[in-house]
A and B are shown apart, each in its own frame.
Chain A
Amino acid sequence: MAETKNEVKFSDAAMADIQRYISHYPEGRQKSAILPILHIAQAEFGGWVSPEVMDEVARILDIQPIEVYEVATFYTMFNLKPVGKHVLEVCRTGPCCLRGADQLIETLKQKLNVEEGGTSADGLFTLKPVECLASCGTGPMLQVREKFYENLETEEQVDAFLDMMRKSEVETPYHQAAYSKK
């Protein structure tokens, strides 16, 4: 869980991407870039956006911090509290449930010994049930950062998936800062 207080500084790669997104909008409409910047911020600073991170986003966009808070709290992808190394965003919506999503969530709860929204004791996994991820033909499924893991039908598949994740490092497009410092 990244220590962000007083040292919110985006990497050069992230900053370049932020400026690129800002340039996509007309003069004076820089606030439009808030969602891509929040995604970049979440990837940079340990998988969540702290108030300090949001303040920095406000400073970059030259808007009031409240404008960032109200956006970050509206959209479900932004984690407002510290999370585990891997956030498992499991689809819990109808079409996936027809193919066993309820069971997948139950299995993950048992194997990780967490409730929905909780983080495993080893800090590796946060279980976050989410709504439809547009992967209904390949359910049950879940998402970790930018990757989909599909057709997780059996307990063996879930075990294999968790084993793989335990061994895997966090990869982000910017891949620095908070993660490597941990």
Chain B
Amino acid sequence: MGLKILTEHINVPGIETLEVYRKHGGYKSVEKAVKTMTPEEVVEEVKTSGLRGRGGAGFPTGMKWSFLAKPEGVPRYLVCNADESEPGTFKDRWFMERNPHALIEGMITSSYALGAKTSYIYIRGELMFILRILEKAIAEAYAAGLLGKNILGSGYDLDLHVAPGGGAYICGEETALLESLEGKRGNPRNKPPFPAVKGLFASPTVVNNVETIASVPWIVNNTGAEYAKVGIGRSTGTKLISASGNINNPGVFEIELGVPVEEFIYSDEYCGGIWKGKQLKAVVPGGSSVPILPANLILKTAAGEGRLMSYESLSDGGFVSGSMMGSGAFIVFDEDQCIVRNTWNYSRFYHHESCGQCSPCREGTGWMEKVLHRIEYGHGHQQDIDLLVSVAKQIEGNTICPLGDAAAWPVAAAIRHFRDEFEWHIKHPKEATAPGAVYRGQLDTVTA
């Protein structure tokens, strides 16, 4: 059992109430920060901790905070991104549902560090039941003097509100989120200006993921230097992993960064191995946007070293033979899963979720979905594989926001590592479309 920074008390009965949460050390970081530290000191601790954004990009949080512009007389905002929508990701919902005060504590301490007087938690509209849990906890925090005017007698004022989305994956992109929070369609903004200069209501704004913000109290309580000792290399601290797919124990696991991938998949402490005694075929280690890796490459890097659950190790080999940590959504495929069908499914997702602003994404995602659909349903042409690679290439890097890249990468990676399977579908449409048919030639093939 590794160190539990986020989930130590998550199964304590009643932890969702202020009383029980405080009994287990809750809100200590607020007290410490507002009474004994300057905002700059809190920012310094977070910088020292090496904490990286847990939403997917992995950008150093302390650095993001230090970019925040501080013009006189202009309000600043902290916005929590609780728009968890990346396929495979469910850690934030799981966490907020069980321990809402942990997020609220993080919001107060982080808002203090940034000098925000009003902060928002933007939560995806489908999670209205979590919004109500959070609102209840916020009301308790107001009543206890932890929110509102003059928090704990420190002179610091903060209002915290929860805002629901309306069903749009794109609102997880921070500028689309801000548009949505202003009551508009979720169309991402051109950058610059960055939110740190011109964000919510044209004011300087920091947008952070739920898990990122929830990690701040521990850092403030125990120092950034202590946090930096946890994990491995530049992957400091712990990470919530959402494990799904064909495993025995799907769920959310808090790991110290650096756990071997093989242990994570097969140990009973985590995924508990592949279900029904089947073999591992592939893994998407960081949410649907990141490249899929065949079994051999997820377990070991191309150089033959055991792969670890860390930002660096998962991306070892670049996109040729590696992938990404992303949001920590670990999607496991057993030997009976069809990569073509899965890739088509993801393409449909991105086509559905493209906001339509940029032509390469709006049109390209539609093309990829269409071409993949015809391959999956037995009407593919030999040139379709190269067509897909070409469309993916033309989307990548040519859009305002990263949704284009997120749509292109899974297609490119599936073809890179499972080209045989696509070819089999095209050459043998009858066999490939038979019920339950799966291509099995790839399981032992090294494709890097």
Contact = CB atoms under 8 A, between A and B. Distances in A.
B166 A98 contact: no
A123 interface: no
Contacts of B251: 137
Interface class of chain B by DSSP: mixed
B161 A146 contact: no
A135 interface: yes
A95 interface: yes
B342 interface: yes
Interface stretch (B47-55, B59-67, B84-92): B84-92
A18 to B, nearest CB: 13
Contact of A95 (B93, B161, B245): B245
Contacts of B332: 98
Interface in A34-62: 34-36, 38-39, 61
A132 B86 contact: yes
Contacts, number: 153
A35 B125 contact: yes
Interface string B73-101: 00100000000111111101110000000
A41 B245 CA distance: 36
Nearest to A34: B183
B128 A98 contact: no
A133 interface: yes
A130 interface: yes
A33 B87 contact: no
A68 B92 CA distance: 29
B126 A136 contact: no
Interface in A129-149: 130-139, 143, 146-148
A70 interface: yes
Contacts of B346: 93-94
B89 A136 contact: yes
Contacts of A21: 163
20 contacts: A31-B184, A32-B163, A35-B164, A35-B166, A38-B166, A71-B183, A74-B186, A75-B125, A75-B165, A93-B288, A95-B329, A97-B345, A98-B244, A98-B333, A132-B88, A133-B126, A134-B85, A136-B244, A137-B242, A138-B250
Closest 8 CB pairs of A and B: A75-B166, A77-B167, A136-B244, A137-B250, A76-B167, A31-B183, A34-B183, A24-B161
Interface of A: 21, 24, 26, 29, 31-36, 38-39, 61, 67, 70-72, 74-78, 89, 92-95, 97-99, 130-139, 143, 146-148, 173
Given A36-B164, A97-B341, 13 more contacts: A24-B163, A35-B165, A74-B355, A77-B167, A94-B87, A94-B345, A97-B342, A132-B288, A136-B88, A136-B244, A137-B243, A143-B126, A173-B132
